[in-house]
Amino acid sequence: MTAARPLLLVGAGGFARETAAAAAVCPEWTVLGFCDDDPARHGTAADGLPALGPAEVVHDHPDAAIVLCTGSPRNFASRAALAARLALPPERYGTVVHPAAAVAPGVVLGAGTVLLAGAVITSPQRVGAHVVVMPQVVLTHDDEVGDFVTLASQVALGGGVVVEQGAYLGAGALVREGLTIGARALVGMGSVVLADVPAGEVWAGSPARPLKARAGASA
């Protein structure tokens, strides 16, 4: 049996703690702690793990794998910004797959991607890098999930759905087969998506409709 590899989580909020809990039940990982830019968190502990300092602490631990664990609905571009700032090669990033996720043979997960408990990927496909897949998300045949996408709990994609880079799908959103969710778009919780969502737009409801243009969406 190979030794567990040390893992550092960037961020110390809710998703970081969830990732720590998932990694704690994966024999391949030993979680060292959190790196968070909020100085108020430095030197404190969450769930028994220390907050070691700002994100740049990752450079002091060259043997550790890294997972970027930020990205609330209010700032879901933060993982992409952190990746650019830290400029680590892809091989520095770990993937965390909770043992209770069901992943079809042949699925390829990008560097830094996290699957929490109950996530299901039903057939071979590539899921991008730094993707957050929260509990009970269902990805089906021929889906394409781009880098830095966030899929909140119980999102379900029909077959052949494309979710472009950096999009955020809120909890319980359902997407009809064959549709595209554009880059950096946000789909509200509980939405039923029956049409393509253009890049950078915020859609919600059943059926989902545009709510408003998101500031900075063209960035």
Ligand X SMILES: CC(C)(COP(=O)(O)OP(=O)(O)OC[C@H]1O[C@@H](n2cnc3c(N)ncnc32)[C@H](O)[C@@H]1OP(=O)(O)O)[C@@H](O)C(=O)NCCC(=O)NCCS
Q: Please identify every residue annotated as catalytic.
A: 141
Among 111, 153, 144, 117, CA closest to 129 = 111
Burial 161-195 (b: 16+ CB within 10 A, else e): bbbbbbbbbbbbbbbbeebbbbbbbbbbeebebee
> What is the C-alpha separation between 94 and 72, in angstroms, rounded?
21
Beta bridge partners of 46: 49
Q: How far is the CB of 112 from ligand X (least distance, A)?
A: 19
User: Can you name the residues that pair with 93 across neighbouring β-strands?
Assistant: 66
Quick check: 182 and 201 in contact, CB under 8 A?
Answer: yes
Q: Quick one: 73 or 159, whose CB is closer to ligand X?
A: 73
Kindly list the residues in this chain that would bind ligand X in the complex (CB under 6 A): 73, 152, 170-171, 186, 188-191, 202, 204-205, 211
Shorter beta-carbon distance to ligand X: residue 160 or 190: 190
Q: How far is the CB of 59 from ligand X (least distance, A)?
A: 29
For ligand X, the closer of residues 125 and 150 by Cβ is 150
DSSP, collapsed to helix, strand or coil, labels residue 55 as helix
Supply angle C-alpha 135, 144, 183, rounded to 5: 90
Comparing CB distances to ligand X, the nearer of 152 and 175 is: 152
Find the shortest distance in angstroms from Cβ 213 to ligand X: 11
Query: How buried is residue 144: exposed, middle or buried, by Cβ count under 10 Å (0-12/13-18/19+)?
Result: middle
Q: Using CA atoms, how far apart are residues 26 and 173, in angstroms rounded to an integer?
A: 28
Q: How far is the CB of 20 from ligand X (least distance, A)?
A: 16
How far apart are CB 101 and ligand X at their closest, in Å? 18
How far the first Cα of the chain sits from its last, in Å, is: 45
